[in-house]
Every structure is written in C-alpha cells, then in structure tokens.
Structure 1
Amino acid sequence: MTVTKTITIVGGTGYAGSAIAREAAKRGHRVTSVSRSVPAEPNPGISYVASSVEDAGASIAGADVVVGAFSPRGANKGALAKVYADLASKAVEAGARLVLVGGFSCLRRSEGAPRMLEAESFPADVPAEVVAEALENLDVLNNLLADESGVDWLFVSPAMEFSAWQPGEDLGRYRVGDEVALFDENGRSAISGIDFARAVLDEIEQPTRHRAQIGVAY
C-alpha cells in the first residue's frame, strides 16, 4: 500500500515539473506546485502557489518530499545553485527528501569516465545557452556531492531527448541507471515527460537510492 505524501514541486508548471505534479496528483498525493504564476487551466488535484524564486523555499513547510524542477532560463539564469542550496537547507529543516531534476550532460558515457559536460569530446557546436544551463546543473550536482548537512537528496537526469519540443510517447516503461547514461539498441537516449514522471514518482514512493544521481531513459 502506497503511503500518501505531501509533495511540493518548485517549478511545477514547467515541462518536467507539470508532468511530475500531474502524476503525483493522479496517485493521490497532496501536491503543491510553486512557480512564478498560476496556470490558466489548473489541475484540480494540485494546489498552486505563485512565488518568486527567492521565496520558493517558504512553501515547503510540512512537505515530505521537495521536488526541484526549476529552469535556469531567462530572468532565472544563474540562480539555480542558490535556489537549490536554499531548498536543501529548507528540506533538512523539514525532514523532507530532496529530489532534483538534473541534466543529461551531468551523466557519464561509461563507468569512471568524466561527466559528459567535462569531457574533451563534448560537442563544440552546442549552443552557448544550453551549455550555460548544463553548467548550472553540474554546479548543483557538485554541491550535493560535497554536502555535509545530511539532506536526503536524489539528482535525476533525464535522457538526452527530453523537452517540450521532443515530448515523446507514453510507452508506460522506463529504465533507471546510475551515473552512466542509458542508450537503446539504436544508440538513442530518450524519455517522454509522462514516463520520466512515473520514474520520479516510483522513486518517491519506494526509494531505492539516497544521496545519489540516477539517469532515466528507455
């Protein structure tokens, strides 16, 4: 029997955050979505809070799980590490688990290899804004790896093909790896929003890893 949890999702109206929020509500959890604005068509199973990034941590009192799906784009550029450091501190105070949506390039190509973003083979033609966002995610991961507060964190890296522009299909399955990126038999790394959300919720309901990074793909 699944225990109902109180879940606060920071960035809960973005691509990853909204998928996680919907799946959590569908499973009967108490869900609060924190973002800069409330959606025009809110999900009836989700409570929405409009908040600035700086004040997002104030919304997690009483949460069992804090999910970070914040996107460091536009006006939020450069804020990810600070926002997540604050969430980690608030999670410790609340006794909550911290689950963060990370980036694909924070994974490794093989065991013991450098993280893709740090490898000499990292493609030089990747747009600068994409690299900047990836570097922010890597800063977050490195901060977690060096954490001494004892926060129960999980850094979840989606597959390479994962975005509103590559929504994928609802296949009802997924694979979970550790720090090494997962590819299918055709060399493709992809996951849909709904299947990624299922992976996150399955890990929230039945934790298998603590203070660790995982990757999710087909």
Structure 2
Amino acid sequence: MTTTNTKNITIIGGTGYAGSAIAREAVARGHKVTVVSRNGTAEPIANVNYVASPVAQAGASVAGADVVVGALSPRAENAGTLRAAYGQLARQSADAGARLVLVGGFSCLRRTAGGPRILDSEGLPSEVPAEVVAEAQENLDVLNDLLADTSGLDWLFVSPGLEFSAWSPGEDLGRYRIGDDVALFDESGKSAISGVDYARAVVDEIENPTRHRAQIGVAY
C-alpha cells in the first residue's frame, strides 16, 4: 500500500519489536522514515534512514519530522530513563510542530470507563518480576505527564493488547479494533495484537488521525 500524503516520520527506538514493525509498515506505504537508536541495527529495513544516536542527541532528527514515534523499551540501559527521555521528546516535538505518537503499555488502560488504570487498581501478579512492574510504572508515569501537558502538543499514546511481544509475535490477520482507554478483549476474554497489526493501526492513525491528545487501545 502507498499513500499520496507522504510524511517524514522519525522513530525513536525503531530497532525494537514495535518500532521496527512500525518502520517497516510506514516505509512500505511510501513514507520517509528515519530510525534513531543507540546502537543501530544488524538487520536494516530497505529505504529506512538509520541514525545511531542516544535519545538525548536526537534533536536534529526530530526537528524535520511531521510525526515522531517513541518506541523505547524501559529496560536494560533504558531502565529508569523513559520518563525523562519522553519528556524531552515531547518538548522537541512541540517545538518542531510534530505529532508525538508513543508505544504505550497494556496496564495503563482501564477495565471500565472512568475506572482506575489496571496497574493502579490491580497491580501486576506477584510472580511478575520486579523489573517488569517498574517498566509498567514508567509507562504510566509517561502517560500521566502527557495528560498533564499544557503545551498544546498533539500526542497519542497507543496501548497494545495484553499479549504483545517479540516472544509472542502473533500473526498478520490484517485487522484490528481500536478503542479509547478501556482495554479491549475478544469474545473468549483474550486481549492480544500482533506486531504487524499493531503497526498497521499506528500508521493508519498517522495517515488519518482520528484522536488527538488521547490514549487509545489496539487489540483484536
């Protein structure tokens, strides 16, 4: 698929699971894609421009973008840095007049409209490693900062279904459902989305925005 509304898209953390899927989908549709990552990649996607740079020095790549996608994982060397990194990215995107689209987390969603966030109300099961709980909290801190933003930044926080990871990549079903901040489940009570279909939803929203300054959920 190609689009006549070509956009300059900068993806921060675009070599990971979600970021690389979004980059592949966007470039396949004819968008100009720049991926910024700390260490580059051993498996580059054709026609994607790769910039090896820490997030703190990504300003030049953000300045020329129509849309900035944040796909950082709050783990390993990034642990504990996500809130500050995305805070900087939000300021840079606002200065550039770019839309900011962030890959969020499932536990930032709600079970019911107006109810508490899943992480706040339920926490995560006791068997979940402490570092995963910390990652979920970092994502929620980022969302809360966006909700409190007064700059007028055009942002979107896109939470995938519960089953969404490189360890469970799923299949390209060519479909998805999109909701607000209430978690989506299918008729069997499952909440899942493949990387390919999540990327499709993100790029669809980039091309034809339906929501602004909002959190959305994507699942089957």
TM-score range, shorter chain: over 0.9
Quote how far apart the aligned CAs of 1:44 are.
1.7
Secondary structure at the counterpart of residue 43 of structure 1: coil
Aligned to 1:156: 158
Task: Output aligned runs, 1:1-218, within 5 Å.
Answer: 2-120=4-122, 122-218=124-220
Q: Determine the C-alpha separation between the residues in 1 that align with 2:43 and 2:108.
A: 34
Quote how far apart the aligned CAs of 1:112 are.
1.6
Moved more, 99-108 or 123-132: 123-132
Superimposed CA distance per residue, residues 42-79 of structure 1 (whole angstroms, 9 cap, x where no aligned partner): 11210000011321233211100000001111111111
Superimposed CA distance per residue, residues 3-56 of structure 1 (whole angstroms, 9 cap, x where no aligned partner): 000000000000000000000000000000000122223112100000113212
The amino acid across from 1:111 in the alignment is A
Quote how far apart the aligned CAs of 1:184 are.
0.4
Q: Determine the C-alpha separation between the residues in 2 that align with 1:20 and 1:120.
A: 30
Quote how far apart the aligned CAs of 1:193 are.
0.3
Preserved CA contact (<8 Å) 1:105 1:117: yes
214 and 87 in structure 1: CA distance in 2 versus 1, 3 angstrom threshold: same
Q: TM-score, normalised by structure 2?
A: 0.96
Superimposed CA distance per residue, residues 163-216 of structure 1 (whole angstroms, 9 cap, x where no aligned partner): 000000000000001010000001000000000000000000000000000000
Preserved CA contact (<8 Å) 1:57 1:86: no
Quote how far apart the aligned CAs of 1:2 are.
3.7
Superimposed CA distance per residue, residues 126-156 of structure 1 (whole angstroms, 9 cap, x where no aligned partner): 2211110000000000000000111000000
Quote how far apart the aligned CAs of 1:124 are.
2.8
Q: Determine the C-alpha separation between the residues in 2 that align with 1:57 and 1:138.
A: 24
Moved more, 36-45 or 63-72: 36-45
Q: Determine the C-alpha separation between the residues in 1 that align with 2:194 and 2:106.
A: 14
Quote how far apart the aligned CAs of 1:121 are.
6.1
Dislocated runs of 4+, deviation >4 Å: none
**Runs of 5+ in structure 2 lacking a partner?**
none
Secondary structure at the counterpart of residue 86 of structure 1: helix
**CA RMSD, Structure 1 to Structure 2 (Å):** 1.1
% same residue = 72
120 and 28 in structure 1: CA distance in 2 versus 1, 3 angstrom threshold: closer
Superimposed CA distance per residue, residues 88-136 of structure 1 (whole angstroms, 9 cap, x where no aligned partner): 1111111000000000000001112100000046433322111100000
Preserved CA contact (<8 Å) 2:124 2:133: no
Q: Determine the C-alpha separation between the residues in 2 that align with 1:90 and 1:69.
A: 16
